[in-house]
Chain A
């Protein structure tokens, strides 16, 4: 069974930093586009960042551009999201999502709460 497991969420003060990690298994991670998608409780999902299979292509939604870096380690089948200068409006559940030829894989999410 495909596994996608996020970690690293938690409570952080405005202006602080956080690094989310996503460990995956049982699919060919290195051939998949990978993304971070966030969802505020009670609202629809929002794409945050997207990275190509080899890591050379990276895309960010405007609201996080300049504050956020997506990266991946294909040898470890892992995805990361470094978030800096966090704002209250960044509070959400963050999902790691894989887009592969064989399917579309979502993790259970990691809650990030930005609050003083």
Chain B
């Protein structure tokens, strides 16, 4: 299985400050068509996961532009330009190039 490794696992952030989460995959996530099969998801307390970004840097509908994704191949980053209270939760990276699709361990973002 493709192993997804996130860091940090805990991320205390001051409101209004930036935040960054890294994810590394155990193999390239670039598919034969050139697309990268990678996503970031957010899970707020008590809610279902919600996809934020797919294909490295494409935001889903309704996702604020303070969220951005970057990276290539096996190394990816999620950045939040200015953290807001509603951003509290656990963030997961996910690959869907190979079955089973797999998630990272999760990064818990909290407000300092």
Q: Which residues of A contact B (CB under 8 A)?
A: 35, 37, 39, 44-47, 50, 59, 61-62, 95, 99, 103-104, 106-109
- Which residues of B in the span 64-112 have a Cβ within 8 Å of any Cβ on A? 90, 92, 96, 99-106
Question: Chain A CB within 10 Å — which of B48, B60, B61, B96 has the most?
Answer: B48
CA distance A106 to B60 in the complex (A): 13
CA distance A37 to B90 in the complex (A): 16
A/B interface sample: 16 pairs, CB < 8 A: A35-B101, A37-B49, A39-B49, A44-B103, A44-B104, A45-B49, A47-B100, A47-B101, A47-B102, A50-B101, A61-B100, A103-B61, A104-B39, A106-B49, A107-B48, A109-B48
Question: Is chain B's binding surface mostly helix, strand, loop or mixed?
Answer: loop
Contacting pair B92 A44 (CB below 8 A):
yes
CA distance A7 to B109 in the complex (A): 31
Q: Which residues of B contact A (CB under 8 A)?
A: 39, 48-51, 54, 60-61, 90, 92, 96, 99-106
Residue of A nearest to B51 (CB): A104
CA distance A99 to B94 in the complex (A): 13
Question: Chain A CB within 10 Å — which of B39, B49, B54, B105 has the most?
Answer: B49
**Set A37, A44, A46, A104: member contacting B54, Cβ < 8 A:** A104
**Set A39, A59, A107: member contacting B100, Cβ < 8 A:** A59
CA distance A37 to B92 in the complex (A): 14
CA distance A86 to B91 in the complex (A): 30
Residue of B nearest to A61 (CB): B100
Q: How far is the CB of A84 from chain B (nearest CB, A)?
A: 20
CA distance A59 to B54 in the complex (A): 21
Contacting pair B99 A103 (CB below 8 A):
no
Q: Lowest 10 A-B CB distances belong to which pairs?
A: A104-B51, A106-B48, A47-B101, A59-B99, A61-B100, A47-B100, A44-B106, A44-B103, A45-B103, A108-B48
Q: How far is the CB of A88 from chain B (nearest CB, A)?
A: 21
Residue of A nearest to B62 (CB): A103
Contacting pair A95 B49 (CB below 8 A):
yes
Contact flag A50-B48 (CB < 8 Å), given A44-B104, A44-B105, A44-B106: no
